[in-house]
């Protein structure tokens, strides 16, 4: 049986910076909990309404033709940004001052940026 590998907190922090995401649409991230499902429901409602309006009640056989002509409204959720980008913007003053500005945290952030964006930066 192989010994269990030890976890490295610094490595875990770098991986967290690379893999985790942050909501960056511009409004409250709490608003997205209601807004995203509402918007998806709105797209579906308008699509179904358009189909019902286009189908003639006297000709149910042509339903497939009508459905093919009606187009669904286009909407997609804006993807989250990588945590390292969010923290970098926060450190640069785009957002409020970070709560942790220690040298160790800065070094971990720099390592995560280097790994995520390469040697040349963003």
Question: What average pLDDT score do residues 74-103 get?
Answer: 72
CA-based radius of gyration for the chain = 24
Residues 6+ apart with CB under 8 A from 106: 91
Q: Where are the alpha helices (DSSP H) in 7-122?
A: 9-19, 29-54, 63-69, 83-91, 103-117
**Is the pLDDT reported for residue 29 higher than 50?**
yes
Question: What was the pLDDT predicted at 39?
Answer: 92
DSSP 61: G
Question: What is the pLDDT, as a whole number, of residue 44?
Answer: 93
Which residue, 7, 16, 22, 23, is CA-closest to 116?
A: 16
Q: What pLDDT is recorded for position 97?
A: 47
What mean pLDDT is predicted for residues 89-114?
66
Residue with tokens 């930066």: 121
> Is the pLDDT assigned to residue 98 strictly greater than 60?
no
Domain boundaries, the chain: 7-24+80-122, 25-78
Average pLDDT, the chain: 77
Torsion of CA 28, 34, 37, 40, to 10 degrees: -70
């Amino acid at each position: 049986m192989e010994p269990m590998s030890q976890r490295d907190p610094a490595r875990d922090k770098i991986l967290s910076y690379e893999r985790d995401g942050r909501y960056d649409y511009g409004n409250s991230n709490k608003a997205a909990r209601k807004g995203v499902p509402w918007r998806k429901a709105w797209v579906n409602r308008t699509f179904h309404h358009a189909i019902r309006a286009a189908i003639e009640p006297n000709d149910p056989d042509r339903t497939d033709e009508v459905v093919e002509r009606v187009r669904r409204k286009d909407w997609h959720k804006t993807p989250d940004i990588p945590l390292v980008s969010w923290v970098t913007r926060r450190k640069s003053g785009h957002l409020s001052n970070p709560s942790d500005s220690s040298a160790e945290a800065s070094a971990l952030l720099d390592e995560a940026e280097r790994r995520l964006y390469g040697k040349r930066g963003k």
